[in-house]
Structure 1
Amino acid sequence: MALSRDILDIRTIYHEPAVANFGRGLAILDRFPHAERIEVPSHWNIPNLHGNAGSAEDWLRIKRSTLVLGVKKGLTMRPNGRSAHFIAPSTSNGCAMACAYCYVPRRKGFANPISLFVNIEQVCAAITRHAARQGPLPEPDTVDAAHWVYDLGENGDLSVDATLSDNVRDMVGLFRDLPNAKASFATKAVNRELLTYDPRGKTRIRFSLMPERIAKVVDVRTAPMHERIAAIDDFVAAGFEVHVNFSPVILYEGWEADWRDLFTAIDEGIGPAAKAQLKAEIILLTHNADLHAVNLNWHPRAEDLLWRPDIQEGKRSQGGGDNLRYRTGWKGRWIARLKDHLAELMPYCHVRYAF
């Protein structure tokens, strides 16, 4: 299983003791027989990794070479209402890619490699029980017309995770057979192995897109925009529902012209079948002071785009964090302008939500 570019070369595996009690854990360890194995009491708190301030300066090497394995403890579903009806228990945390605006490192500290959870059977069983309790979707809504939607990839990128284990294949197979539920996840990678998963319309993949020249600065180690756009038709043909995330929208001199160029590239790059089912989410950038400090240690150029206190204001997040977002009032106007450009250039693309 290979991505369009080689972004992983696992040399070190930190793992909880219980990982060896699970078949998926043993399978992942067997996949990397030459990697150094370091037993840790918790996947979440590894002092010489997450707690080491010096790791921030080695951000990209750690993402490429380090893997963490653990057992997912919390198996509850959280209500959402935007991308999905529910956020399913994550089967991963962290990512091999290095988007400078990613919110996950805000909580993990100075290093953010992939953590995989090996108790996939327990996660799938929890989703199955929860979906059974919901019954049919009462009526169509902004999330979906017919199914309860579960977001699977809140804290990672499942296209990359799928190169390391069969967790993603198992979950796509699970939702294929759940009569009232659909899976959903966003991605910035193109893993064509997923085209063999046979989702039968029950998994929604959301390709995250932004103007290429800005992505070259902030979307580090991700698939180029032209590769993501070129994959859309193939994933639709393979039985996925494909949406797009215009996320994050970053404001700078000339941003509107760049987004118009992107909308034109999408319109010219996908066929009628993809256009007929395409929907979008629009999410303006939210930044964070702690992440700003981490980024200054490894990628200060990105902060020239992301850290704009002249047009940003403080925001207390639902999770209790102190974030920065574009100023109220102006933010609504900027969203309206972007939606106007989209309606002109891609009139078939309905915006599911924007914020």
Structure 2
Amino acid sequence: MAAIPLDIARIYLEPAVPDHARGREILARFPNAERIPVESHWRIPELRDADPGDYLSSKRQSLVLGVKKGLTFRPNGRSADFIAPSSSNGCAMACAYCYVARRKGHSNPVSVFVNIDAILAATARHAARQGPKTVPDQVDPAAWVYDLGENGDLSVDAGISDNVRDMVALFRTLPNAKGSFATKWVNPSLLDYDPQGRTRVRMSLMPPALAKLLDVRTAPVAERIAAIPDLHRAGYEVHLNFSPVVMREGWEAEWGALFDELDDVLPTPIKDQLAAEIIMLTHNEGLHEVNLAWHPRAEDILWRPDIQERKVSEGGGVNLRYRRGWKGTWLARFQALLAARMPYCRVRYAF
């Protein structure tokens, strides 16, 4: 398994970081990194104004430490019932379609929040207020599910601090709730966390040739698939995340081959509990411009105005999604292919 994709040379930190035990622990873990004080983890001009052609170096060499200010919970209803306050933001990986990259500008390296005690306490209080889940839904039949890693990859974060270990430990104590996160990395340390079925890992997968082009700095798809039985034996509930589904010539053959590989590798106990989410590609005009500076080959298949239509987001960004009518047809074909190759795999949601 490849080493964590980080070689931290500089740490940007808010003034209050050393006041927190988790902040001091992380700083001690990277003693040789340059420390650069910043007023806010959101506003770091040195990162925002970096050379767009040098997209990857800050992801590999920079770490941001801050204090999470807003401990709010947002209803979701897709991957989870609620989006929990995140323990991090940004990612060390560089998936060419990732919406997180445009939130802070440029490559958005990992930001870790050191007030994990406050995040955990807020989550416990929120779950207690919900009471039992009495009406099963597509998220989970019996538990309120909290997405813990909406803006990053917790498998990588677990190599930076014990925030992820602490969150998994919390959900062992919440009888009415589960944690959940999607990942494209394989971190064996997660196997020691003893989740006792109260944390769901959504392994993100796409055909290997597609991932080699689009999932930059992630674990190879074969490694992700091989890790699924290990995670399940360690006590995680494991689901699949087929995302994004990118339309290109031959897509049915390459996705069909992936489904066949999964069918061969996954043991029966995993198949008996397996569910998946399917997310068709949505691309963004600003991210398209960033990608042209560092990874233009990806844009050959991500930026397809001939089969996509523009949609202005609530925040005013211009997104491209597959055209109505076509998207529905392709999504139905994708689901039919999955049902034929992996009939035991329940689709929790698809869009």
Q: TM-score, normalised by structure 2?
A: 0.98
Give the alignment partner of residue 107 of structure 2, picking from 100, 106, 111. 111
Shift of 1:6: 4.0
User: Which amino acid in 2 is paired with 1:67?
Assistant: L
8 Å Cα contact 2:241-2:277 kept in structure 1: yes
* Cα distance per residue 1:61-106 (max 9 Å; x no partner): 1111110000000100000000000000011111111100000112
User: Which amino acid in 1 is paired with 2:92?
Assistant: A
Count of aligned pairs between the two proteins: 351
Shift of 1:307: 0.4
Q: Which residue of 2 aligns with 1:157?
A: 153
Give me the whole-angstrom Cα distance separating, in 2, the residues matched to 1:165 and 1:91. 10
Give the alignment partner of residue 211 of structure 1, picking from 174, 195, 207. 207
* Cα distance per residue 1:38-61 (max 9 Å; x no partner): 0000001101112x051x221111
Give the alignment partner of residue 148 of structure 1, picking from 144, 151, 154. 144
For 1:81-100, list aligned pairs within 5 A: 81-100=77-96
Shift of 1:111: 2.7
Residues 204/306 of structure 1: CA separation in 2 closer, same or farther (3 Å cut): same
User: Which amino acid in 1 is paired with 2:230?
Assistant: D
Q: Which residue of 2 aligns with 1:40?
A: 38
List structure 1 segments (4+ residues) > 2 angstroms apart after TM superposition: 3-6, 316-322
Residues 171/318 of structure 1: CA separation in 2 closer, same or farther (3 Å cut): farther
Name stretches of at least 5 consecutive residues in structure 1 with no aligned partner. none
Give me the whole-angstrom Cα distance separating, in 2, the residues matched to 1:92 and 1:16. 14
Give the alignment partner of residue 63 of structure 1, picking from 42, 59, 64. 59
8 Å Cα contact 1:100-1:295 kept in structure 2: yes
* Cα distance per residue 1:307-341 (max 9 Å; x no partner): 00111111233554321110111101101001111
* Cα distance per residue 1:195-234 (max 9 Å; x no partner): 1100000000000000110110000011111111111111
Shift of 1:347: 0.4
CA RMSD in angstroms, aligned pairs only: 0.9
Name stretches of at least 5 consecutive residues in structure 2 with no aligned partner. none
Is 1:247 the counterpart of 2:243? The answer is yes
Give me the whole-angstrom Cα distance separating, in 1, the residues matched to 2:3 and 2:265. 21
8 Å Cα contact 1:233-1:273 kept in structure 2: no
Give me the whole-angstrom Cα distance separating, in 2, the residues matched to 1:292 and 1:138. 44
Secondary structure at the aligned position of 1:57 is classed as coil
User: Which amino acid in 1 is paired with 2:291?
Assistant: N
Q: Which residue of 2 aligns with 1:303?
A: 299
Give me the whole-angstrom Cα distance separating, in 1, the residues matched to 2:39 and 2:343. 53
* Cα distance per residue 1:160-206 (max 9 Å; x no partner): 00000000000000011001100000000011110110000000000
Q: Which residue of 2 aligns with 1:168?
A: 164
8 Å Cα contact 1:186-1:245 kept in structure 2: yes
Q: TM-score, normalised by structure 1?
A: 0.97
8 Å Cα contact 1:106-1:288 kept in structure 2: no
Residues 53/13 of structure 1: CA separation in 2 closer, same or farther (3 Å cut): closer
Percent identical pairs in the alignment equals: 68
8 Å Cα contact 1:84-1:184 kept in structure 2: yes
Q: Which residue of 2 aligns with 1:136?
A: 132
Give me the whole-angstrom Cα distance separating, in 2, the residues matched to 1:318 and 1:249. 23
Shift of 1:138: 1.8
Give me the whole-angstrom Cα distance separating, in 2, the residues matched to 1:10 and 1:53. 17
Give me the whole-angstrom Cα distance separating, in 2, the residues matched to 1:53 and 1:295. 14
Is 1:230 the counterpart of 2:231? The answer is no
Residues 273/4 of structure 1: CA separation in 2 closer, same or farther (3 Å cut): farther
Q: Which residue of 1 aligns with 2:10?
A: 12
* Cα distance per residue 1:114-159 (max 9 Å; x no partner): 0000000000011011111100012111000110000000000000
Secondary structure at the aligned position of 1:164 is classed as coil
User: Which amino acid in 1 is paired with 2:137?
Assistant: D
